[in-house]
Chain A
Amino acid sequence: MRYLSLILVCLILIGCDKVEDPYEGIRVVSECAGTISDPNGNDTTEFKSESGFAKALIEEYTGHTCKNCPPQAQRLFDWAENEFEGKLVVLGVHAGNFAELVPDEGYVTDLRVPAGYDLQEKYEGGNSAPSITINRSQNPLTPGKWNTTMDSLANSSYFTSPRFDISATSIVNKNENKGIVEVRVSALTDIDVENIGLGIYVSEDSVIAQQLHRDKGVIPDYAHRHVLRKAITGTFGNSFVTGSFPQDTVISQTLCYDLDPIWNADNCSLIFFISNLDNSQLLQAEEMHMIK
């Protein structure tokens, strides 16, 4: 029995590590603690970017009276799903003439948001719809130029050379219409950019509203894909890192926001982008479901 007691003591000694502070040395306790009064209604979703590749943000300027937009949007989503195998984050920005309300003709759902106005103003998107920007690295491109640009992007090393590892925690409380998002960004290499910004957007998929279609005419219950709903940060991102961002450094930011009751949170996503604030171009993007 002495041997048995010895064995048991040995095992107990090597057996377990009790962690009192899961975040010790990694990050501070959330600035948003206390935002939600009753956490019983919380839905918490964890996200971690897939290692080994970077995603690009495609912003499509569109509108409900743009009859060419639905087939071209489908083209983008097909690309995202097939050729690019999930490496594209597609966002529908309803802005410009084609997004204006026309109540007499039944176009009564306003999908425009302040962030969309900012983007339209800066990039002049929406004046000719559909048009897209890729990581905001050029002015909006009309569909005739998409093939060449996308081919060039596919053949570049962008997707296989991620510069950041992005992980996040999304907490949503539908009862209180509150959301908290904590984004953690780790530099995979030394980042030589002076002013780095972090942007967080809310998008909603399958928003049902009337849409004009080139081939099908007016579709009263069209499902609008990945509609820009809100910029939780500033439209071009909040200042995140200044000076240097050395390899293996992890920096996090936590933000609280209100859920608009008209959103279906189950269909919403959070889009993260890391930008160069000096020229507004994006360095990398990611997307996660707001609720698992």
Chain B
Amino acid sequence: MLKLRYFIVFVSTLLTYSSNLFGQNVLQEAAKDPLEVHGNFNLTGQYYLTDSAIAAPPVTEKFLYNGYANVIATKGAFTAGLRYESYENVLLGFDPRFQGSGIPYRYFGFDNKGLSITVGNFYEQFGTGMLLRAYEERDLGLDNAIDGIRIKYDLGNGIRVKGIAGRQRFFFDKGPGILRGIDGEIYLNEFLSSWKENKFKLTLGANFLSKYQEDNNPDLVLPENVGSYSGRFTARYKNFSLTSEYSYKGNDPSFDNGYIYKEGQGLFVSASYSKKGFGINLSAKHIDNMSFRTDRDESLTNLLTNFLPALTKQHTYNLAATLYPYATQPTGEVAFQGDVTFRLKKKTWYGGKYGTRIMINGSAAFGLDSTRLNDLDSARKGYTANFFSPGEEEYFQDFNITIERKLNKKLKLKGMYMNMMVNNDITQYSGLNGPFKGKLYADIAVLDVLVKLNPKNSIRTELQGLWSKQDMGDWATLIIEYTYSPHWFVAVMDQYNYGNPVENNQLHYPYATFGYIKGANRVSIGYGRQKAGLFCVGGVCRVVPSSNGMSITVTSSF
């Protein structure tokens, strides 16, 4: 606690120092500016029907919803906002601890002459987010906003600094841990006058983050303060770009790592080259024991401090996106990804009249090349791992190619082929047939056809197939969307698990939806079956249970 007091004194000093900058009467300045109020509203509700065939769990309330509204007011240098959230009760697949209504997010902010202060809730990211990324992803049920103080200061000459302190959101409460951190970035082409015209652009950054959580474990001596730091750079020269970040975390025993005292480290490297009609990106990462939360005993997406993106393509087509997506393994992985995009010239025999776009992507993730240590020795380090050396166990592999071609003014085609491998001993996917062990191999093909009948009417059709000899076998999906611009749309979809080795599970999952859009308002109503699966954003996933029923979504902004 003594150290915490020092920190509070430090923040107070910083605030006092900062207040010297408010020499002029900012209130008078702000009075001249108009008051602007903005906001948005979102409601997603579902009426659930019992459907034992797809193991849809019974819902005693019948109707569940997740809803929220943001209101943000700005006047001159001042800004304030809040978000009201309501889950009465929370939709299936989201943590039931969200249940309730209230205002979990509110803040007040002030900007003047490069200094920005926020008190209350805020989202923040240091570098690539390997140590700190406080963000919300509502579809994942993830909101790790910080409640505390944030100070950002643009010192000029390309130097920017920010500091944060506070606790993270935990449903309608706060987590037990306290975060304290500082991040600095320097853009050398602004800082060094001799570099101003230089075609070589370089940005350097570094940050330090510490969390405090009381040691309440009778069996182990736990570190109450866990420190971490990282350094990064982004270099650009003409069409080339190279970015990298290395991060280190001190001993942080947690539920995720089996309460071992090993230090964590991560390295992310990404290089790219692009010119008109061609782009290539190669990236790699080494993650070793980098799970970081403000409650060492939490799991899933709760109280995550950092963000470790999966180095795999984020697929959007339904079968590829929801059946076997890959989630980053924060306890350890080595991953690689390559992306090539190019366009075949238009008005050629191979490119067609409008040109053809081809995207090739490949990725693979492996376990660490590690050696286990005795778990009961006095250091309790767990294991040792060779840096950036893939282990023998492959976790995931994906190769895919997408070809887009516009045939004429009315017809546009897009085809995708994907070959993938998922190691389910790691991903632990469990569908209608229950969990399975070992590796799953699958081929997926998609044909996406867009027909513009006239400027107001268009029809889009998706044909998807997934073929696998493991787990639930083969799938087919058909989607037909009709859009009557600018207000109406209607879509029907059927997913058919025709190749399921369990005959009773060879089921159809039909779903229909229609909606109306006018200005910033959108209403859509859907009805049908939804299969169980995983919903992932950036390598962070949520299990979605199977369901049957009618759903309604209303969004609006002002």
Contacts and interface: CB of A to CB of B under 8 A. Distances in A.
Partners in one complex: yes
Interface of A: 3-4, 7-8, 10-27, 29-30, 32-34, 36, 39-42, 44, 46, 48, 165, 167, 169, 171, 180, 182, 184, 186, 250, 254
A1 to B, nearest CB: 8
Nearest to A180: B376
Given A11-B181, A12-B227, A15-B208, A46 B258 contact: yes
B344 to A, nearest CB: 50
Given A3-B17, A18-B251, A26 B220 contact: yes
A10 B225 CA distance: 14
22 contacts: A7-B163, A8-B208, A11-B180, A11-B181, A11-B208, A12-B227, A13-B3, A15-B180, A15-B208, A16-B210, A16-B226, A17-B250, A22-B261, A23-B378, A26-B220, A39-B372, A42-B375, A48-B219, A167-B219, A184-B219, A186-B218, A250-B219
A184 B218 CA distance: 9
A39 B375 contact: yes
Interface stretch (B6-14, B307-315, B318-326, B353-361): B6-14
Contacts of A169: 375-376
Contact of A19 (B181, B210, B261, B373): B261
Contacts of A15: 180, 208, 210, 225, 227, 250
Contact of A21 (B182, B221, B222, B225): B221
Nearest to A24: B221
Contacts of B372: 39-42
A4 B223 contact: no
Nearest to A173: B372
B385 interface: no
B201 interface: no
B374 interface: yes
B224 interface: yes
Given A39-B372, A44-B258, 14 more contacts: A7-B10, A11-B181, A11-B208, A14-B3, A14-B4, A16-B226, A16-B227, A19-B222, A20-B379, A22-B221, A26-B220, A27-B219, A39-B375, A184-B218
A27 to B, nearest CB: 8
B503 interface: no
A184 B219 CA distance: 7
A36 B374 contact: yes
B166 to A, nearest CB: 15
Contact of B376 (A13, A40, A171, A186): A171
A147 to B, nearest CB: 29
B54 to A, nearest CB: 24
A55 to B, nearest CB: 19
Nearest to A36: B374
B552 interface: no
A141 B51 CA distance: 42
Contacts, number: 120
B326 to A, nearest CB: 22
A250 B218 CA distance: 8
B259 interface: yes
B194 interface: no
Interface in B12-46: 14, 17
Given A11-B180, A46-B259, A23 B221 contact: yes
B219, B220, B227, B379 — most chain A CB neighbours (10 Å): B219
A46 B259 CA distance: 9
Contact of B223 (A13, A17, A27, A40): A17
Nearest to A6: B10
A169 B375 CA distance: 9
A198 to B, nearest CB: 16
Contacts of A33: 374, 376-377
A3, A22, A44, A48 — most chain B CB neighbours (10 Å): A22
Given A169-B375, A171-B376, A180-B376, A25 B161 contact: no
B345 interface: no
Nearest to B222: A19
Contacts of A12: 208, 227
B3, B17, B372 — most chain A CB neighbours (10 Å): B372
Contacts of B224: 17
A19 to B, nearest CB: 5
B207 to A, nearest CB: 10
A44 B461 CA distance: 50
Nearest to B382: A44
A251 to B, nearest CB: 11
B253 interface: yes
Contact of B14 (A7, A27, A39, A254): A7
Contacts of A25: 221
Interface in B374-395: 374-380
Contacts of B14: 3, 7
A179 B538 CA distance: 39
B184 interface: yes
A42 B182 CA distance: 39
